[in-house]
Amino acid sequence: MKHIVIFLMTIILSAGFVEADEASVHRVVFDVTTGDVATFEKKILSGIVAHYDHYQGKLEELRSVVVIHGGAYRFFLKNLKNSPYADDTNLSKVHTDLGKRLGSLHENYGVEFRVCSIGLKKRKIDTQNLYPFIQPVFSSLTELIERQNAGFAYIPVP
C-alpha cells in the first residue's frame, strides 16, 4: 500500500512540474510576407533574438516558428541565380549575411522555418534551393491554422 501511495504522489507531482514548465514556454508564429529587407531584418532577424533574450532573462522559453510566403521567399534561397530574385541588387548585397543570420536563428535559438509549397510552385522555386533548415509545408494557411490552434500567438510581418 505504501508503494502505491508513493507512486501516485510521484505521478501527481510530476504532472504539476510539467504544467509549470509548459506555463514558462511562450509560443509565437510569425506570418512573414514582407519582401522588404529592412522590415525583415528588424522584425525577424533582430526581433526574435531580442524577444528570446527577454524571456531567457526571466528563465522562460520562447518557441518561434516563421511561416514564409508572399514576398518573403527571397530571403530563404541559397542561390539567387536562376530565381525570380536574380536581378534584386539590394538583396544580392546582403544575401550571404542573411543566410548566416537565418542559420544562427535556427541553430542557436531553435527557430523553425516553414515555407508554403503552393507559393514555391507558383514562383518556380526548387526546394533544393532552400536552406536545409527550411521545411516546406502544404500551405502557409494550413500551417498558420495548425500553429494558432496549438496555442501560438500570431504575429503578422507584412
- Convert the pLDDT of each residue in 81-98 to its tens digit: 989 999 999 999 999 999
How far is CA 51 from its chain centroid? Answer: 13
Give the count of domains, the chain.
1
Q: Would 20 be classed as within a structural domain?
A: no
Per-residue pLDDT, 4: 56
Q: What CA dihedral angle connects 55, 157, 33 and 100, to 10 degrees? A: -40
Interval 112-122 mean pLDDT: 98
Where b means 16+ CB within 10 Å and e means fewer, 109-148 reads bebbbbbbbbbbeeeebeeebbbeebebbeebeebbebbe
Flag whether 8 is in a domain: no
- Give domain status of residue 39, yes or no: yes
Residue 82 inside a domain? The answer is: yes
Q: What is the CATH number of the domain that holds 47?
A: 3.40.1260.10
pLDDT digit string, tens, across residues 14-69: 554 444 467 799 999 999 999 999 999 999 999 999 999 999 999 999 999 999 99
Closest among 73, 121, 63, 120 to 95, alpha carbons compared: 73
